[in-house]
Amino acid sequence: MNFYSRKLIKPEDLNPNNTLFGGSLLRWIDEEAAIFAICQLNTDKLVTKFISEINFINSARAGDIIEMGMEVLKFGRSSITFKCEVRNKFNKQKIITIDNIVFVHVDENGRPKPHGVTTETPPEIDQAVVPA
């Protein structure tokens, strides 16, 4: 798995318990997943189809830096399936895991359309990547 964007947890990202608000984290993951899918399939004609169970493992606090990792599991005909992990950048503690995120390539009518991609785009082309 390769880790891409980093985020600094700020006071506005916290819940009433003063730990990272799940909604903020999910918004960041949704955006990161979309960017990952677009880069892998080389098209922005994609929609989120499925996000599996989300396991909140550990919390994060203001001042922590987190990083988001993605790994392709499968290239389908119109779909791409990948998994996601968010961890603390410094102590590597897992914050969240998602086993399956599926995006579907669609045509101008919003119907599934083959994307023709069968292999993963190498992470070296993304300068922001941090190998696990």
List alpha helices for the chain, DSSP H: 22-41
**Residue 48 near ligand COA by CB under 6 A:** yes
Question: Is 88 a binder of ligand COA (CB under 6 A)?
Answer: no
d(CA 125, CA 35): 14
Q: Is 90 in the site for ligand COA (CB under 6 A)?
A: no
Alpha-carbon dihedral sign for residues 20, 21, 24, 29: positive
Rank residues 2 and 79 by Cβ distance to ligand COA and give the closer one: 79
Length of the chain: 132
Number of DSSP helices (H) and strands (E) in the chain, helices first: 1, 7
Q: Residue with the closest Cβ to ligand COA?
A: 76
Q: Which of 50, 107, 120, 128 binds ligand COA (CB under 6 A)?
A: 50
CB of 63 or CB of 111, closer to ligand COA: 111
Query: What x/- string results for residues 110 through 129 when contact with ligand COA is judged by CB under 6 A?
Result: xxx-----------------
Task: Build a one-symbol-per-residue string for 51-80: x at contacts with ligand COA by CB under 6 A, - elsewhere.
Answer: -------------------------xxxx-
Cα 57 to Cα 77, 98, 107, 110, 128: the distances in Å are 33, 11, 37, 35, 25
